[in-house]
Structures are given as structure tokens and as C-alpha cells.
Structure 1
């Protein structure tokens, strides 16, 4: 049995955690969970994550939930993978990793659900506005190949996964800099392996 267990569903943000694990390159076991009381909502899984959602990981007695936290944890736990800058040089890394969680994710979901923040209340919303969020991201990506310097990190993985998903569902405008960035990230071998594994799991689930 591997030291890491991933709790996921192939039609969820668990795909991001799977990609991160493939980048780390260590063995892991997978527990697939369905939506609803028989899976994520059941007592057994809610003992792991009371929110009743995936992904989550277990590693050496530690439980980690929330996709951005999983990415940060794995980058720290396996420094040999080179998915985070050296300690003391992680300002941009943490900034953009949690910009993904605090701004991109809620902005995308708000738009997908057709939830409009009134302009006079934008200061109360963590992401301000959808337009400002993605203008800010575009400026950052225009300045260099990656968000935390000239090397791919877990921050790129997390933000890139969100961009790729949002553009795929026509929620995020496919600006040239976004398309170029997402294209470089999805060309990575670890992304291809993770996608193939999750796509196979989706196919197997639909055949049941």
C-alpha cells in the first residue's frame, strides 16, 4: 500500500490533485467516491473531510483537503520534485497559488452560476470582479513564462488547471496569453498521464 491515498472523483477538482501527484512522481493509491450520500456525503468519508467534497489526501497520518492546500503540501513534502521555489523565495509562489483559490475559483463559479456581484459591492467580494481578476492574471502571465519565475511550479499547475477548465467550458475568455500558457502546461507528461487515468476512470464509471 502506498504512503499517499487520494480521495477523488474523475469529474471534480480531484483531477488537479491527481495531476500534482503525477508531477511529484511518487506512488499513491486512489479511492474513487461518488457524489451523494453513498459516497462523498457518507459518514465514512465525512470523517476525512466534513465538507463532503473531494479531493483529499492522506499521507503519513496527515489529512489534507482543499486543492490549493494539497498542491502546497505536496510541493513541501517532496522538494526533490522541484515544484516550489526555495524557502525564502516563495512570495510569488504563494501569492499566485492562493490567488487561484481566493480569486480565480470564486470568480469562475460565480460566472458559471450567473451570479452577479453588484458593482457597488465589489469591494466586499474577495475576487472583486471577474474582469479585474482575469486582467490581473493576464498581466502576470504576460511578464514571464511562469507565475513564480522562469520555472514551472505548483502555482502554475493550480492556476493552469483552472484556466484550462474555464476556457474549455467557455467561461473564461480564451485570450492569447491564456491559451499559450495553458497549452504549455497541458503538454507536460504528468498532465497527460493524469488526464488519461481520470478519463479512463470516467469511462469505467459510465459503463457500470
Structure 2
């Protein structure tokens, strides 16, 4: 048995976690869970009571939430070089992705637009604020944590790539140029091929 097990579905954020696993280069097992059945079964609810994927098991420890999985793997496998030296930038942008970006994109996609007079109440303000902040960062540095690719680019970069593909983020030149830099990494290509193959199974 491998030390790492990913619980996933190819139509989920599990694609991000798999990309991260491919980046660290350690052997892992992927277990496919199906929405509404095995994802809500007692065995899996004992792992993640939310009944959602992805989840990661490593030597008996469980990590849920995609940003946490990426951060954990970067920290647990330092030789992979996925934790940058600038920890401040890493944590800032990782959790900007897990907080403001995730909230703003999801709310907008669902039709929930924060009225201008209530934007101080929402942690992200507005989608426009989030987009401007991302765009500004990508004019400062080629990657979110500085001059080299790291785990934050797997997580936040995946969100940008998804946003460009499905229109949940505006198609800005800075986003397009950034996504072009990271989309064809060998680990990303391997992860995509593995998840595309899973799409042929009942998911």
C-alpha cells in the first residue's frame, strides 16, 4: 500500500489535488468516489463528514480542503521544492485563493452579487476587487510567490485556468499569459490525463 491516498472525483477540485500530488512525485493511490452514493457512504463520512472531495490520507492522517492539501504536501515533501522561500507571499496568496477568490467566483456564478453599500460586509468586497488584485500581482511577478512555481500556483493557478475556460473570471491578458506559463507543466499534463481517464467511469 502507498502512504498517500487521494479520495477524488474528476468533476471536482480533486483535479487540483492530483496535480499537486504529481508535482511532488511521490507514489499515491487515487480512490474514485461517486456523488450521492459512495461520497455520502458511512465509510467515507468517517474520513470527511462533509461528504465532499478531495480528501487526502497520509500515514493515517486526514487532510481535507484543497488549499490545505496543497499546503500540507508542500510542507511534508520539501525536496519537491513546492514550498517557496518567501513564506509570507505563499500564505498570503494561498489563502487569498481559498477565501476571497473562491467566495467571489462562487457567489457570482450563483447570481449572488453583493450590493455596493454592503461590500464592506463581504470579505472579498466585489469580484472586480478580487480580479484587480490578482491582475496586479501577476504584473509584479511571474508566479504568485515570486520568481518560481510553487504549490500556490497549483491551487490558485487552477482557479484562474478554470475561470478562463468557463468564463467565471474575465479573460485578462495577465491571466492568459500566466496560465500559458503553467498549464503545460509535465505534472499538470499527467494529472489531467489521469482524471480524463476517470471521466470514462461512472462519476
Question: Whole-Å Cα distance in 1 between the matches of residues 38 and 177 of structure 2?
Answer: 37
TM-score, with structure 1 as normaliser: 0.95
TM-score, with structure 2 as normaliser: 0.97
Choose from 172, 186, 189 the match for 1:189.
186
Q: In the TM superposition, what is the alpha-carbon distance from 1:126 to its structure 2 partner?
A: 1.8
Question: Whole-Å Cα distance in 1 between the matches of residues 124 and 59 of structure 2?
Answer: 35
Cα deviations by residue, 1:16-60 (Å, 9 ceiling, x for unpaired): 000000000000001110111x12112111111111100000001
Cα deviations by residue, 1:155-190 (Å, 9 ceiling, x for unpaired): 111111001111111111110010111111111000
Question: Whole-Å Cα distance in 2 between the matches of residues 83 and 192 of structure 1?
Answer: 17
The match for 1:144 is 141
Question: Whole-Å Cα distance in 2 between the matches of residues 123 and 41 of structure 1?
Answer: 36
Question: Whole-Å Cα distance in 1 between the matches of residues 44 and 201 of structure 2?
Answer: 22
- Equivalent residue pairs, number: 203
Q: In the TM superposition, what is the alpha-carbon distance from 1:205 to its structure 2 partner?
A: 2.8
Moved over 3 A (4+): none
Question: Whole-Å Cα distance in 2 between the matches of residues 116 and 149 of structure 1?
Answer: 32
Unaligned runs of 5+ in 1: none
Cα deviations by residue, 1:127-170 (Å, 9 ceiling, x for unpaired): 11100001001000111111111010001111110011111111
Q: For 1:205, what is the secondary structure of its paired residue?
A: coil
Q: Does residue 135 in structure 1 map to residue 138 in structure 2?
A: no
Q: For 2:201, what is the secondary structure of its paired residue?
A: helix
Q: In the TM superposition, what is the alpha-carbon distance from 1:204 to its structure 2 partner?
A: 2.9
The match for 1:80 is 79
What RMSD in Å do the two structures reach over aligned CA positions? 1.0
Q: Which moved more, 1:106-115 or 1:12-21?
A: 106-115
Choose from 87, 102, 105 the match for 2:102.
105
The match for 1:31 is 31
Q: Which moved more, 1:2-11 or 1:40-49?
A: 40-49
